[in-house]
Amino acid sequence: MNCSIRILTVLLMLIISVSCSFRQKIEKNKTIEDIIHSISSENLKTTVLELQNFNTRYPYEKQLKVADYLYNRIKAYIPDTQFHIYEYWGVYWKNVIATIPGLDYPNKVYIVCAHFDSKSEKRLVYAPGADDNASGCAAVLEVARVLSSYHFKHTIKFIFFSREENGQNGSRAYIRSINPNEEKIIGVINIDMIAFGSDKEDIDLVTRPKHRWIVNYVNQIGKLYNIPTKKVIKKHCF
């Protein structure tokens, strides 16, 4: 995890417009247990390998190709999949957005996201980025796959962002593009570098103090379904 990755999330945090406390007791849900059991390691490995096989996801042309790849992968699960195209330094870049519309509160949105670009000392020719952040993209795809069979009260958006490593341009452009009167973002889960470490590691849940409600909520979910987590509230974490 490097500083630039953490900085990416700040911009998303700024537009979270509802500060929820979620103090209600969360109870175990059989449907959610079924969802958990259907997560596949093999699917995660396949996606990471295919993303690594691009050799690098840093140059402009490569990022466009990776966006096309992710678009085709997630569209197979979620028909409402679109490119979000933005201009940066005179050229057009792509984010990928797949939407499961909420049945009761379609304008209230939860986002699950990951960045797909990679970086290294040899970035123009070789930056495999398996952990950073093919692993996050694989998780977003797998969550989209398992949730695509269900209906929800709120809208869920699955987003793959380009150009995170160079200043979070993809996520910044997305934030600028939305109309807060039409899309009220309730919460965001950004998945970044989830596959490095021993089996005994906890999963870090990282946020700033003002957004601790979502860490508390997800931590409760972890306890309920026996997934070890560790809360990390940082004043200046991003």
Distance, CA of 94 to CA of 74 (rounded, Å):
15
Residue with tokens 């160079």: 166
Respond yes or no: is residue 201 known to be catalytic: no
Q: Select from 41-49, 70-78, 81-89, 172-180 the region that touches other proteins (CB under 8 A).
A: 41-49
98 lies in the binding site for other proteins (CB under 8 A): no
29 lies in the binding site for other proteins (CB under 8 A): yes
Site for other proteins in 70-89 (CB under 8 A): none
Site for other proteins in 114-173 (CB under 8 A): 118-122, 126-132, 134-135, 138-139, 142-143, 146-147, 150-156
194 lies in the binding site for other proteins (CB under 8 A): yes
Evaluate whether 100 touches 183 at the Cβ level (below 8 Å): no
Evaluate whether 93 touches 86 at the Cβ level (below 8 Å): yes
The minimum distance between CB 211 and other proteins, in angstroms, equals 5
- Our CB check for other proteins shows the closer of 92 and 105 to be 105
Among residues 27, 42, 121, 164, which one is catalytic? 164
- Our CB check for other proteins shows the closer of 92 and 196 to be 196
The minimum distance between CB 87 and other proteins, in angstroms, equals 25
196 lies in the binding site for other proteins (CB under 8 A): yes
With b meaning 16 or more CB within 10 Å and e meaning fewer, what string describes 22-37? eeeeeeeeeeeeebee
* Tokens matching residue 174: 């997305």
Residue 126: half-sphere exposure toward Cβ, Cα within 13 Å: 2
**At 25, is the secondary structure helix, strand, or coil?**
coil
206 lies in the binding site for other proteins (CB under 8 A): yes
Distance, CA of 44 to CA of 230 (rounded, Å):
23
Residue positions counted in the chain: 238
211 lies in the binding site for other proteins (CB under 8 A): yes
Task: For residue 232, list its beta bridge partners.
Answer: 206
- Our CB check for other proteins shows the closer of 169 and 207 to be 207
The minimum distance between CB 28 and other proteins, in angstroms, equals 10
Distance, CA of 211 to CA of 204 (rounded, Å):
15
The minimum distance between CB 73 and other proteins, in angstroms, equals 15
* Tokens matching residue 79: 């028909």
Query: Which residues are catalytic, by number?
Result: 164
